Amino acid sequence: MKTYSSIVAGLLMGITAATPIVAQPLLAPGGQVCLQHNRMQSWHVLNDRQVDFTDLDRHHYIITMTPACRGITDPQAHLVFHTWENLQCLPIGEIIEVTSPVFGKTQCAVAGVQLNGPQLPGYGSSG
pTM: 0.69
The domain locations on the chain are: 24-115
pLDDT of residue 124: 45
How does pLDDT run across 80-101, given as a tens digit for each residue? Answer: 988 887 788 999 999 999 999 9
What CA–CA distance (Å, rounded) separates 90 from 28?
10
The better pLDDT of the pair 79, 83 is held by: 79
pLDDT of residue 54: 94
Q: Is residue 117 within 8 Å of residue 60, measured between CB atoms?
A: yes
Checking if the pLDDT of 73 tops 80, the result is yes
How does pLDDT run across 1-45, given as a tens digit for each residue? Answer: 666 566 655 555 555 444 444 455 566 556 678 898 899 899 999
Continuous segment of H or E residues that includes residue 40: strand 40-47
3-state secondary structure of 9: helix
What CA–CA distance (Å, rounded) separates 61 from 54?
6
pLDDT of residue 19: 40
pLDDT of residue 66: 93
Q: Is 49 exposed, middle or buried (0-12, 13-18, 19+ CB in 10 A)?
A: middle
CA geometry: angle at 38 spanning 87 and 74, to 5°? 125
What CA–CA distance (Å, rounded) separates 31 from 74?
34
Q: Is residue 70 within 8 Å of residue 84, measured between CB atoms?
A: no
